[in-house]
Amino acid sequence: MQAARKLSSIGLDNMEVKIISRETIKPSSPTPHHLRIHKLSLLDQIEITESIYIPVILFYSVASGDPRKRSNILKESLSKTLTQFYPFAGRVKDSFSIDCNDEGVSYTEAQVATNVSVVLQDPEIDLLLQLLPNDSLERLPEPTAEQVLVAIQVNFFACGGMAICACVDHVVADGAATATFIKSWAAIACGANYIDHDVIYDCTSVFPPHDLTSFKEKFANEDKHEVPEPQGKIVTKRLLFDGSKITALRNEIGNGPSSYRPSRFEAVSALIWSAMLSTTTKNDRTFSTTTISMNLRNRTNPPMPQQCIGNVYQVKEVESLMEKTINLSILAGKIHETIRKVDDDHVKKLGAGVGAYINLLRSKVKNNKFLFVSWCRFPFYETDFGWGKPIWFATALRINRVVFFLDTRDGEGIEAWITLTLEEMAKFEQDPGVLAYSFSKLSK
């Protein structure tokens, strides 16, 4: 029996997503016995408590040929890909390991009763959430034999276009690892017989696992008293910064007292941070401290494999603001210095100090701190399954006071998906800097 889901979005009230089929895709060959247990690093262990899937949605334009053939290509290549990403087809065994038992991943197909161009005109997160598989929206608090680590949904639009949604459990992959998995899947779909890199790397040698039971209990008790619930409804908006606007912003900041030209990420982060500071009163230091998420793979000596799975990132707190006068140059400089200090010595200290790391990680949700997560330069726009590269890609994570940075299709601009309370968003959107450097819709 087919199931239908309504999409509630302006102008799309009558659109339906109708589930066509559901099945489980298993690896095309069994995982060798000596690889059946995949050890979790400290950074992976922490994600077990977070209960988050990483959703990636790749949109493709009208494709010729039989959709059934494209679907078969996707399923067959996914099965082959899982032989090399074998932990993804397993199940969480305990807080220390994944049982690589080849139970497989969830694969759903759906029909969307509109054209893909209609969806892309003004996409909102509530709409995008409806294109994700139902079984990937929330992970159970405790691991079970039925809980998949990867869920796929392929949405076929009326025009022949499609949206491939991949949701990967954060316990086995961060954003970079998710990008590697999807790009590898596409390469095999185009005929590659193997993936020319080592995706399985023993991160426990860098971040040794620990028994986190006492920490889990401690933070559970603290959360009841110290982590305030958002006051009012939270909303997610997309801001677009095209390449020319970012260049102008970088030049403006570069002419300031910091005397350096910031990166795209540093410049846009500084602008958003400045806008958030302007939403609060002088006596309210809510946004005086912020945090950023950083990929650690190329920050060790020697570097870890860029393609390795797992969680190889750190949430790092930016130095608190002490200056009486705050400008974009100061903010960008603080972000730049925070990133610069994360080197090989820092990573080694991080791996050796479980308590310090967990305290820092928890700071991203305590005391109303703001978090910037950049997926820029991840190869999502290179993901060609055989019918061309994506015309757009997005994520669908709504986490209060978190901003996700994604590339625009040309690789020069940035899309910033920001979640705030309704009251905070109303003030944020009226900030002069936000109004000057961003816009809300993709140019035609």
Cite the active site residues.
170, 384
- Structure tokens given for 292: 């950023």
Instruction: Report d(CA 421, CA 425) in Å as an integer.
Output: 6
Spell 249-269 as b/e; 16+ CB within 10 A means b. bbebbeeeebeeebbbbbbbb
Q: How many CA atoms lie within 13 A of 263 on its CB side?
A: 13
**Rounded to whole angstroms, how far apart are CA atoms 209 and 356?**
14
- Measured distance CA(58)–CA(220) in Å, rounded: 36
